Amino acid sequence: MTSRPARLIRRAAAAAAVGVPVGLVVRATWGLPAAIGASRRGPLPEVTGSPQFADGTFRNRLPGPVIPAVSARSGLLRQTHRERDRGRPVGAVPLVRPEFPGEAAELAATWLGHSTVLLEVDGRRVLVDPVWGDRVSPSPLFGPRRLHAPPGPIDDLPEVDAVLVSHDHYDHLDLPTVQELLHRTRAPFVVPLGIGQHLRAWGVPADRVVELDWDQSVVVAGLTLTCTEARHFSGRWFGRDDTLWCSWAVHGPRHRVFFGGDTGYTPAFAGIGARLGPFDLTLLPIGAYDPAWREVHMDPEEAVRAHGDLGGGVLVPVHWATFNLAFHPWAEPVRRLLTEAARTGTRVAVPRPGERVDVLDPPEVQDWWTDVGSADDRPAPPRASLSGRAARAVPGARGARRRAAPRPGRSDRRS
């Protein structure tokens, strides 16, 4: 059987033969085999024994299409061409240089962009879905690039007790970041089934890798980390669903946190809430949604619904603002989130990238995204309407400031 590196080399040579500059080909494919991860020639014993694994792949418990039908896919191709810039901010995203206390707090969360969060739970620290890379792609030249820099260097991280990964997509599992953490922390990597093979291929010692199936738990530094169900998929190249995806429940002696990873809405959240909740904090994805893939990506309204199912206290949104992964305007997820939170009385905190939230004393919701602007901002409802509703949703909140019309000199859409 031909090896994957050999196939990549042949493809690079073919590209060069049809006129693509050799230097560009080399740069675009440099490090591809390593970044893609381990090449599995057959399922591992711990994978084949999983109730989620059948006929060579992992499956969601709730059936549904992951890849759009052909007609929808062709529509997505047109959408990609016409609307690829809608998800970009107009201005610079404001960053906060993270400041970490010497001792971990009772309950706090520092959002470091996209789905990367440093949790403080009952005096322990847990880092979830760490990504400091510039592109969420195996190629250094192609693929989604950051819309803002990391708010702080990975060197600034304090020692963590555990690293959690939800699944193997590039925007959640990043080779350069794993390699940095390997040398900067002694923490174990706690991951769903199959991802350990990627980590071991990247040099992570086997004794620092803990692989779990859904509903399995491990205790690390006094915290119980439970691998919980999510509705998603996996794959880092042409292969699909040969590693498991998950959400995570983090239980300390006094506080509980739920991290959704990347997921579509599923009634399983209600069961998780009944068994493992209620949760003082939920971290739920609100971005990268589209009608064509609603089975595997929640929209903001579904995130609020999931938060309720989980018995959530404070909701901090993740999976938005950092990478352009869908066709909705950049700021639309947080605007929809606040509208739904106001309607349902849900308590939310919306930090800037790098900002730390004391969950036991959450800050008022302050609008920092309107000044950044989305590519196709349109006139919004009067400020009084939204701020009044948001104030009822979050005690003491001022709500979100909304401008009444696009800024002078900016068109409603970018070309």
Examine the pLDDT at 121 and tell me if it is beyond 50. Answer: yes
Range with lowest mean pLDDT among 35-49, 85-99, 134-148, 216-230: 35-49
Range with lowest mean pLDDT among 38-47, 58-67, 233-242, 347-356: 38-47
What per-residue confidence (pLDDT) applies to 59?
Answer: 94
Residue 378 CB neighbour total at 10 angstroms: 10
What per-residue confidence (pLDDT) applies to 393?
Answer: 35
Strand order in the sheet with 162-164: 209-212, 189-192, 162-164, 124-128, 117-121, 107-111, 356-358
Examine the pLDDT at 263 and tell me if it is beyond 80. Answer: yes
- Cβ pair 115, 262 in contact under 8 A: yes
What per-residue confidence (pLDDT) applies to 399?
Answer: 34
Examine the pLDDT at 364 and tell me if it is beyond 90. Answer: yes
What per-residue confidence (pLDDT) applies to 415?
Answer: 29
d(CA 242, CA 104): 36
The encoded tokens of residue 43 equal 């399922």
What per-residue confidence (pLDDT) applies to 82?
Answer: 54
What is the length of the chain?
415
Task: Give 403 or 199, the one with higher predicted confidence.
Answer: 199
What per-residue confidence (pLDDT) applies to 86?
Answer: 84
When computed from its CA atoms, the radius of gyration of the chain, rounded to whole angstroms, is 21
What per-residue confidence (pLDDT) applies to 142?
Answer: 80
What per-residue confidence (pLDDT) applies to 43?
Answer: 57
Examine the pLDDT at 381 and tell me if it is beyond 70. Answer: no
pLDDT band at 156 (very low <50, low <70, confident <90, very high): very high
What per-residue confidence (pLDDT) applies to 143?
Answer: 85
Residue whose token pair is 């004794």: 207
Q: Say what percent of the chain tops pLDDT 70.
A: 74
Helix or strand holding residue 11 (H, E)? helix 4-17
Examine the pLDDT at 182 and tell me if it is beyond 80. Answer: yes
pLDDT band at 246 (very low <50, low <70, confident <90, very high): very high
The pTM (predicted TM-score) of the whole model is 0.82
Q: If we measure between CA atoms, which residue out of 303, 37, 31 comes closest to residue 169?
A: 37
pLDDT band at 234 (very low <50, low <70, confident <90, very high): very high
What per-residue confidence (pLDDT) applies to 385?
Answer: 33
d(CA 51, CA 47): 9
Task: Decide: residue 360, CB within 10 A, 0-12 exposed, 13-18 middle, 19+ buried.
Answer: middle
What per-residue confidence (pLDDT) applies to 68?
Answer: 54
Tell me the DSSP string of 270-323: HHHHHHH---SEEEEE-SS--GGGTTTS--HHHHHHHHHHTT-SEEEEES-SSS
pLDDT band at 14 (very low <50, low <70, confident <90, very high): very low
What per-residue confidence (pLDDT) applies to 56?
Answer: 87
Q: If we measure between CA atoms, which residue out of 237, 184, 246 comes closest to residue 213?
A: 246
pLDDT in tens, 75-111: 444 445 456 678 999 999 999 999 999 999 999 999 9
**What integer is the mean pLDDT of 237-256?**
92
d(CA 312, CA 343): 16
- Output the CA torsion 340→301→262→116 (10° steps): -10
Examine the pLDDT at 375 and tell me if it is beyond 80. Answer: no
What per-residue confidence (pLDDT) applies to 122?
Answer: 98
**What integer is the mean pLDDT of 347-371?**
97
Examine the pLDDT at 343 and tell me if it is beyond 50. Answer: yes
